[in-house]
Amino acid sequence: MLSVQPTFDATPSPQQVARCLAELTSLRDREQLQQRLAGHLVAHFRPRGAQVCRRRHDRLEDWDVLALQGAPAEPGEDERRALLEALGREHPLHLDGVPGRAFYPLLGSHGAEAVLALQLDGSPSEAHQQVADEILRVYRNVIGLLDYGERDSLTGLLNRKSFDETFMRLAGLSAQAEPALSGCDGRRHWHSGDPCFLAVIDIDHFKRVNDGFGHLVGDEVLLLVARLMGETLRQHDRLYRFGGEEFVVLLSCSQDEGARAALERLRERVAGYPFPQVQTLTISAGFTRIDADDTPEQAFGRADKAVYAAKEGGRDQVRCFDELLAVGAVSETATGGVDFF
């Protein structure tokens, strides 16, 4: 449950608005930004009901619902249509003929990934709506600045500069995980107690693409692979490009099988995709569970060794470091070949 602290009186004062904007512009974590934006909007409008609806990528008609005020309610058919429409917008959606229903897109890195659905006691005043619009505009600007410094310019994925901080935070969450967890949560949201995995993904024979078709085609391949990663992996997995044809993913799953299944879906998707000019392309992937005392270099090194084993085994494979370790195919000491910030 998100904590929602009262921020606005019935009529928002400049001081209260300034405090709201000061808090939003001080945050650098996207999830915290999204949570606080939702909290401020709820405190601003004081609705009868409010819930954050987060889309499940594998089933667009299904939504995860988090109640901020009032009891959680599964969205009906009309509301699901409104939620989907709101996801494609930058500005709030108000339903025609339904006073008091408002849908605020909560922007993530590349567009809205969740919607704040409000039940108001009527249509908001123009003054309240203008204040909310300005808060959303500042929030979008903050997200844009974060993206500029933390995104790979070609693919739009996160870059290595932002990796360490996220890794250490997720390693801390993994440290709180319960050992009795079973099965993989298909939605794979990040929560305190979730185990997490690091995967390294490498495009097979990428040098042949650059040499045979030129670097412009090579760049297009990288862009398309990044897009397939975003479409195939889950919304809350962190996707990074580390340079060249090498990608890194931080996944939230309770067991190795869940991480393997996600990476196998990606491998099959890439193998079956008709890349322009190149046509057929494959990837190799290696993954490892992140331990509580891991450094980024240690976890990356283990996953990198699993990728090397996949390459040695014929490419177009997903390999798990722990399984390789159990049969003596790799050593426990592993160091990555990547410089970390």
Residue 16 phi, psi dihedral angles, 5° rounding: -70, -40
pLDDT digits (tens, 9 = 90+) for 307-318: 999 999 999 999
Which residues are paired to 112 by β-bridges?
107
Exactly one of 165, 245, 264, 323 is catalytic; which is it? 245
Rounded average pLDDT over 11-19: 81
Question: Do 130 and 92 meet the contact criterion of CB atoms below 8 Å apart?
Answer: no
Measured between alpha carbons, how far is 216 from 304 in angstroms, rounded to an integer?
27
CB within 8 Å of 289: residues ≥ 6 apart: 174, 195, 196, 197, 256, 259, 322
In order of their start, the domains of the chain are 14-149 (3.30.450.40), 160-326 (3.30.70.270)
Least confident of 97-111, 151-165, 168-182: 168-182
245 included as an active-site residue: yes
Tell me the pTM: 0.63
What pLDDT does 195 receive? 56
